[in-house]
Amino acid sequence: MGKVQSPRISCIDWLDEGPLAPHGQAYKQYLIDRACAASTFGNCLGGVAHFVQWLGRRRIRVRRIDETVVAEFLNEHLSHCSCAEPVQRDRRNCSAALGHLLVVLRAQGAIAAPALSATPVDDELRHYDEHMNHVCGLAPKTRSAALRIAGRLLSQRFGGGAVDISAIRAEHVRRFFGQQAKLYSKPASAAAVVAALRGYFRYRASLGDTVHRLIGAVSYPASWRLASLPKTLTAEEIKQLIDSLGQAGRSMRRADAIVRCALDLGLRSGEVALLSLDDIDWRAGTITLRRTKSRREDVLPLPATTAEALAAYLQFERPKTSNRAVFVRHIAPRDEPVGPDLVRKTIRQAYARAGLPYTRSHLLRHTMANRLLAGGSSLKEVADVLRHRSLNTTLIYAKLDSRNLVEVALPWPGSAA
């Protein structure tokens, strides 16, 4: 790729004469490797040029640059900037430019690696995370939620001091749970707090601490199992959604393929994001899920409609990249896979285009289960397709199995038999 330059910042000579000159070419190459658009390239150079001017006035050496210095520039300087033109003053552009700069400088060994927080609470959470990962085998998202809740309790009790589990009393745990429960709209949702606290206390028990009184300090909120019906799309709404696919526009083939993966295969948003080109066997007509929530490897049949949507995306829309992920970013960095949040956003946008009043991506997973039952599949077959570890997890769909429910329904009192 040739030299990319924006006319607006063509006179910036920070790469040749400024204190960051030894790293200028590496910074440019970093942006090129990320397939940045010309405008993004120019904005980044402008943001760094502005930062270099400020560094010079503050007499800050390169080796001192870190997140704290960048934050000072963004928060204190930009709001009353009087630097000579041409400079980039947009906070968002400057923040992105300097984030890339920190990565390049660290890769070059010009500045120190970010310091890990070293408070006793942070150390405790790191050890707990290793336990959840290597002993319990929990997924990153589950560990992150548990660490967040346990960290709040420990920070509230000990601040920056040493962690002393024996100093935590049952009333402390109950008071903490009461505070956290207010953050949830539904009482049953606060069960996540109970699970996180009990999980942490069980970890401490495995280390020899006497924490049994803490494990029983809080109980799960009442949540009647299988009390509600899982929400699904009706046959008319499914048709409405499918009919809305195939529209022309930017990233629309990727959107169609994502919707098909969720609707036809019942994939979770994280599973869609993690799909790899190596997971698809086009000849056998199968797709392999290797990094699932249950950490198992599952092979599913690849429906023709899903395969067609995937093929259209891969052939005509997917950017050229060395990344093996099926779904990759269409803006810089184009060599990075999409994340679960983008998958959920894509499905929300698909609902909107179809005129459907829904937002949850998991609705398509429920819908797929309902379609299987309506087509005559058993609960065991549904459990296999959804990859549930326990058949009990699938039992909620039994209430959607109208075909079999009709056979066991009793006549209404007073009605004709």
pLDDT, tens only, 179-193: 998 887 777 778 889
**Tokens 């560094």 sit on residue:** 55
In this prediction, residue 370 carries a pLDDT of: 80
Q: Is the pLDDT of residue 277 over 90?
A: yes
In this prediction, residue 19 carries a pLDDT of: 83
In this prediction, residue 79 carries a pLDDT of: 82
**Average pLDDT of the residues in 149-174:** 93
Which SS3 state, helix, strand or coil, does residue 23 take? Answer: helix
Q: Is the pLDDT of residue 4 over 50?
A: no
In this prediction, residue 5 carries a pLDDT of: 42
**Average pLDDT of the residues in 164-192:** 87
In this prediction, residue 7 carries a pLDDT of: 38
The pLDDT confidence band at residue 415, using thresholds 50, 70 and 90, is: low
Q: Is the pLDDT of residue 373 over 80?
A: no
The pair of structure tokens assigned to 336 is 């990075």
CA distance 1 to 29: 10
In this prediction, residue 229 carries a pLDDT of: 62
CB 257 within 8 A of CB 343: no
In this prediction, residue 294 carries a pLDDT of: 60
In this prediction, residue 403 carries a pLDDT of: 56
Longest CA–CA span in the chain (Å) reads: 94
CA distance 216 to 173: 10
Which segment of 3-7, 207-211, 295-299 scores lowest on mean pLDDT? 3-7
Burial degree of 315 (CB within 10 A; 0-12, 13-18, 19+)? exposed
What value does the mean pLDDT of the chain take? 84
Which segment of 10-24, 79-93, 279-293 scores lowest on mean pLDDT? 10-24
Q: Is the pLDDT of residue 9 over 50?
A: no
In this prediction, residue 174 carries a pLDDT of: 94
CA atoms within 13 A on the CB side of 11: 6
Q: Is the pLDDT of residue 105 over 90?
A: yes
Higher-confidence residue of 260 and 232: namely 260
The pair of structure tokens assigned to 156 is 């509230």
Within 10 angstroms of residue 300's Cβ, the number of other Cβ atoms is: 18
In this prediction, residue 365 carries a pLDDT of: 87
**Average pLDDT of the residues in 91-119:** 88
Q: Is the pLDDT of residue 2 over 50?
A: no
Burial degree of 152 (CB within 10 A; 0-12, 13-18, 19+)? middle
In this prediction, residue 34 carries a pLDDT of: 82
Residues in the chain: 417
Q: Is the pLDDT of residue 259 over 90?
A: yes
Burial degree of 32 (CB within 10 A; 0-12, 13-18, 19+)? middle
Report the percentage of the chain scoring pLDDT > 70: 84
* pLDDT (tens digit per residue) in 323-352: 899 999 988 777 789 999 999 999 999 999
CB 194 within 8 A of CB 218: yes
**259-292 burial by CB neighbour count: b if 16+ within 10 A, else e?**
bbbbbbbbbbbbbbbbbeeebbeeeeeebbbeeb
Give the list of residues 6+ apart from residue 212 with CB closer than 8 angstroms, or none: 205
Higher-confidence residue of 245 and 222: namely 245
In this prediction, residue 22 carries a pLDDT of: 87
Report the percentage of the chain scoring pLDDT > 90: 45
In this prediction, residue 320 carries a pLDDT of: 86
In this prediction, residue 385 carries a pLDDT of: 74
Q: How many degrees, rounded to 5, is the angle at CA 59 between CA 55 and CA 14?
A: 40
In this prediction, residue 302 carries a pLDDT of: 94
